[in-house]
Amino acid sequence: MNFFTQLPKNILILIILVAGVLFILYADPPVTICRSINADFIKSQKGFLFTTKNSGNFKKQSLYQRLYKLCKNRKSPGSCYQLFYNTKGLLLSLNSDGVSCIPSIPKLKNFLQQNIKLMVEIAWGPAPPATKHLKSSWMQESDFNLFCNILKTYTKSMGEEKKKLLIKQILTSLPGYEGVDFLKAYKLSLFSINCSKY
């Protein structure tokens, strides 16, 4: 306490101002581009990716979780339509600025990974496709477009190395992978479609 009384008034004022600014920055950090984008994105995805609110002690499932389970269990065009439709809307709401913020948006990285894996599993089927021409199951051009957009978004946000790691993880988890090598599995999978067309 004695130290502060011995300081000249202008230095004491400077110390108080610096301490005040540091406190303000700590208490309410400045808004960054990602922080702003995250807030807008979370708000736009309430009801799909994020739940609107919890009911009591029970965790309410998001619409995404319900649609994902439906599509994963049935793997048919009708059961996956709403999931794919809402996923397209989610990707549209991530403008070009938002892609770099994906790692900081809760649930989004996992969302992209789950949808990439699901679409590859649907196209692959219960066993490896007999030829590379049969790798798409019931999927159509619009589904390929969606798959490529999800994969591009993931690559832009996470990097090429993480994409390669994800591809390896997904391919090795497919049914019947043991009977084919990695390169053949890649060629038979949805990963080998030409995304430059979309």
In the numeric block, which tokens belong to residue 179? 């009977």
In this prediction, residue 51 carries a pLDDT of 85
**Which residues touch 153 (CB under 8 Å, ≥6 apart)?**
91, 94, 99, 102, 112
| Residue in the structure block whose two tokens are 């610096």 | 18
Structure tokens at 13: 């004022």
Q: What angle do CA 10, 11, 17 make, to 5 degrees?
A: 90
pLDDT for 100 equals 83
Dist. CA 108–CA 8, nearest whole Å: 53
Question: Tokens standing for 116?
Answer: 């990439």
- CA gap 83, 80 in Å, rounded: 5
Give pLDDT tens digits along the chain (198 positions). Answer: 566 677 787 877 888 888 877 777 677 766 678 888 888 888 889 989 988 776 555 567 899 999 999 999 999 999 999 999 999 999 998 866 678 888 888 889 999 999 999 999 999 999 988 887 767 889 999 999 999 999 999 999 999 999 999 999 999 999 999 888 899 999 999 999 999 988
Q: What pLDDT, on a 0 to 100 scale, did the predictor assign at position 97?
A: 66
Q: Could you tell me if 86 and 48 are in contact, meaning their C-beta atoms sit under 8 angstroms apart?
A: yes
Q: Taking the mean position of all CA atoms in its chain, how far away is CA 83?
A: 14
pLDDT at 36: 84
Residue 50 in 3-state DSSP?
A: strand
Q: How many CB atoms lie within 10 A of CB 24?
A: 11
Query: For residue 123, what are the contacts with CB-CB under 8 A and spacing of at least 6?
Result: 129, 135, 136, 137, 139, 189, 190
Question: Rounded distance, CA 182 to CA 137, Å?
Answer: 20
* CB 62 within 8 Å of CB 108: no
pLDDT given at position 31: 66
- Cβ–Cβ contacts within 10 Å for residue 62, how many? 19
